[in-house]
Structure 1
Amino acid sequence: MKGLFQVRENCRLNNKVAFTLVEILIASGLLALFITGTFTLYRSGSKHFIVGSWRAEEQKIIQTLSSVLSKDLSQASSDLFSISADGNCNSLLNTPIYINKKMYSKDSTPKFMNVSENKWQCLLAFSVSHPHIEASVFNSETIGTWSGITLWGKEGKIRYQRTANPEAFSSEPSNLPATIIGFPSAPMLASGQRFNPNPNNNRTHTYKTSIEEIAVIAKGENTEAPDSLEFIIKSIRRENDKKTESEVTQNILVKLASQTATIEF
């Protein structure tokens, strides 16, 4: 009897050991699936977090740029005016808004200009001025003021400059295209002249963005002197200098002063 009991006991032990190995294998498989799923979920969540953070930061930077650009463009002057003592308004120099023809459209179809190239490209240039007013029996002479604004693109970055120095306006960060001629020369702004440089709002800032393309559409009945300009800005996220599928498009409508002319270059 004792021998038989020992045999049965050994069988039970062997069966117990075999069953435990099966449990271990199943548990190992489930653990592996759990770890794989958790890692996949982590990677997916991490990617969404990175893309979401990029979108938020990109929109924030472009909104900051848009605020500055909108304010200055709304004050853009189509001419340097001198108002005579009898009240007549005389144009001394045409100063239209110059817009790169690669991105400017006067109909509803946008034309996109690539700004990711490895060289500075001028996007637009314009002037902000206040008129000269001759002395009269009612008031003393008021000297006019001028400052110039340029917008440049390179490798997705946008360089914004407002300066009261005509030489800096025409040469930084590169020479303006030869067709942009509507701005005063340095002698015209010299002491004793009817206009002086206005350095109060001078600024130069490079916005580090991921902008790929920009389009500008003229809005209004008269597209030669539009009521407003619509900017369409496309940004694409990059990893290791390679484009990803993540992108964001922002539309900005900028009001212009009445009768402000635009010219393509």
Structure 2
Amino acid sequence: MTLFARVVARLASLVAQYMQTESGPLRSQKLGEARALAAAYGRWADMLSDQAMLDQLHWSEASERYADYGLHTDAVRLQMPERTGRQPNSASEEELKPVRVTDKPPKLQLVTSSLGYVSLFPLLLRSIPPNSPRLPQMLADLAKQELWSDHGIRSLSIASPLYRKSNTQDDPPYWRGAIWLNMNYLAVRSLRHYASHPRTPSDVSSEANILAMRLAQNLARTVLGELERTGFLWEQYDDITGRGQRAHPFSGWTALISLLMAE
């Protein structure tokens, strides 16, 4: 939302600049609207960028990481419902499918049981200052073997209770472990940003630089290897085998690998 607000504020400012060159009866009104929109979204972006507010709402002292907050429980599973009194093989009976069962009711909480992309957003979007005391811990989380793989950063840690778990029988895991190039691209760009920023402590800068190089190499090896093997760029990649999966050909965000290699 912070990024969205800044983008809209910038667009509104550009529109206002353009309107200054226009003429006509509605010029003054439209110019005022554009300036008001730019100011409103600018204030919103500043509020969402407040480090103290981010820490207050999303930092968990217990787990030392940022976490999503909401109504949540990990005690969920898929279970086959009991059959009716009709014959099990009856052709008229609809195919039985697993249903979602909640063994423990959800409660409002910081979701700290699942380390993944959501936990890394302040890092991925460069929302935390280069000299933030949180940055070293976030780099350590990024490099943990439960999240780091030879093929990229997993969308969800292997230690998460929801890792590679299906949502329903017909909805297999999607953002629960697989490697996504769009998020990994943000990770590499962010690591390079902190590695080169003059206000980043030298030891933190060095660690960010090492992680950026390793991650970029892993991604290039995985994506180009699958391109050579299959002839396709893929929507996502298996975090264990590195094999491409889901939609293909997929030259949308997966094509970001060319930017990583060029930089």
- What is the TM-score of this pair, normalised by structure 1? 0.23
TM-score, length of structure 2 as denominator length: 0.23
- Larger RCO, structure (CA 8 Å, separation 6 or more): 1
More helix by share: 2
